[in-house]
């Protein structure tokens, strides 16, 4: 059996006294690719934030385990160092800190080892080329003045640099043009192997092309109401979430 990476059970989370996740269960093992789909406002981004321990969200019940360790109350940076990563739906701008410097600092932080600068630079150049990012972006301030699509590429560049065990991609495809989606999916394919896992939040099937999807979860009203295989993607593209929302209401 594949090694369990993430185990979320009975998770209730709220923000400003409003419950957003209400009894969510999710298990992700090494080697797997999971897709989460759901209507706007269902709680998908919230789930990503809670898995990474964003202090804005209060956990009222439930547990999050990562590689068997209870991380429900752990700080965000500790979780990141365990190998959890999220590509943000809206990445933050950080004036004054160049993309390259930031990658360097975070790579050192997650590995806990001093960086081999030469090898790092070489790899960075290669990865940027693969993502069709101009080299000059390495010297620009992180996400400052980046277009929507450029920010998403920079997120994937971070994922490829940090090589997390679990990568949560929150609508990484939105804002990308047709060619960019292809390039980014290729990057994701390169990243994926038997010991890591993907949790892809998307409204759009395009980014999944060429990826072997193991499970598709439907998230509505703060819960996963249905789990199926990749065939669900087409069904949802065609019929929307209506069916699941109704069944959730019953």
Using CB under 8 A, list all residues that contact other proteins: 49, 52, 54-56, 75-77, 80-81, 85-86, 88, 91-97, 102, 105-106, 109-110, 158, 162
What's the min distance (Å) between Cβ of 16 and ligand ATP?
5
From CA 156, how far away is CA 185, in angstroms rounded? 10
Q: Whole-number minimum distance, CB 46 to Mg ion, in Å?
A: 8
Maximal CA-CA distance, the chain? 59
Q: Is 45 in the site for Mg ion (CB under 5 A)?
A: yes
Tell the burial category of 200 from Cβ atoms under 10 Å away from its Cβ (0-12, 13-18, 19+). buried
Does position 65 interact with ligand ATP (CB under 6 A)? The reply is no
The edge-to-edge listing of strands for the beta sheet with 215-220 is 84-87, 166-170, 197-201, 33-37, 215-220, 223-228
What is the distance in angstroms between the CA of the first residue and the CA of the last residue of the chain? Answer: 36
DSSP 8-class letter at 210:
T
Show the tokens assigned to 41.
């406002």
Give the integer Cα–Cα distance in Å for 199 and 4: 14
Residue 43 binds which entry of other proteins, ligand ATP, Mg ion, none, with Cβ cut-offs from 5 to 8 Å by kind?
ligand ATP
Strands of the 18-29 sheet, one edge to the other? 18-29, 4-15, 58-66, 69-70
Structure tokens, 31 = 């080697």
Q: Is 223 among the residues that bind ligand ATP (CB under 6 A)?
A: no
Q: Quick one: what does residue 20 bind among other proteins, ligand ATP, Mg ion, none, with the CB cut-off 5 to 8 Å set by partner type? A: ligand ATP
Spatial separation of the C-alpha atoms in residues 113 and 92, rounded to whole Å: 26
Q: Which does 9 bind (CB under 5 to 8 A by kind): other proteins, ligand ATP, Mg ion, none?
A: none
Task: Decide if residue 172 touches ligand ATP (CB under 6 A).
Answer: no
State which of residues 46, 143, 158, 172 lies at the interface with ligand ATP (CB under 6 A): 46
Neighbours of 85 (CB within 10 A): 21
What are the strands, taking DSSP E only, across 52-142?
58-66, 69-70, 84-87, 94-98, 141-142
Tell me which stretch binds ligand ATP (CB under 6 A): 34-42, 123-131, 181-189, 230-238: 34-42
Q: Kindly state the smallest distance separating residue 248's Cβ from other proteins, in Å.
A: 29
- Tell me, residue by residue from 82 to 121, as one string, x for binding to ligand ATP by CB under 6 A and - for no binding: -------x--------------------------------
Contact with ligand ATP (CB under 6 A) among 45, 87, 172, 185: 45
Residue nearest Mg ion, CB atom distance = 45
CB of 105 to other proteins, least distance (A): 6
- Per-residue contact flags (x/-) with Mg ion for residues 85 to 124, judged by CB under 5 A: ----x-----------------------------------
């Amino acid at each position: 059996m594949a090694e369990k990476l993430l185990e979320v059970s009975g998770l209730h989370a709220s923000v400003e006294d409003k419950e957003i996740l209400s009894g969510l269960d999710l298990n992700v093992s090494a080697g797997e690719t999971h897709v989460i789909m759901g209507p706007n406002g269902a709680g998908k981004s919230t789930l990503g934030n809670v898995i990474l321990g964003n202090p804005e969200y209060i956990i009222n019940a439930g547990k999050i385990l990562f590689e068997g360790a209870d991380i429900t109350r752990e700080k965000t940076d500790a979780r990141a160092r365990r190998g959890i990563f999220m590509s943000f739906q809206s990445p933050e701008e950080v004036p004054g800190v160049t993309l390259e410097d930031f990658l360097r600092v975070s790579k050192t932080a997650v590995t806990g080892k001093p960086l081999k600068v030469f090898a790092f630079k070489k790899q960075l150049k290669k990865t940027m080329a693969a993502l069709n990012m101009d080299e000059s972006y390495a010297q620009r301030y992180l996400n400052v003045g980046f277009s929507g699509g450029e920010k998403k590429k920079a997120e994937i560049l971070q994922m490829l640099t940090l090589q997390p065990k679990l990568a949560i991609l929150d609508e990484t495809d939105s804002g990308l043009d047709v060619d960019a989606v292809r390039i980014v999916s290729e990057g994701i394919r390169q990243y994926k192997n038997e010991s890591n896992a993907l949790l892809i939040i998307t409204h759009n099937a395009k980014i999944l092309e060429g990826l072997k999807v193991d499970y598709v979860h439907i998230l509505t009203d703060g819960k996963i109401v249905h789990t199926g295989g990749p065939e669900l993607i087409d069904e949802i593209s065609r019929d929307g979430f209506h069916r699941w929302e109704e069944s959730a209401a019953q």
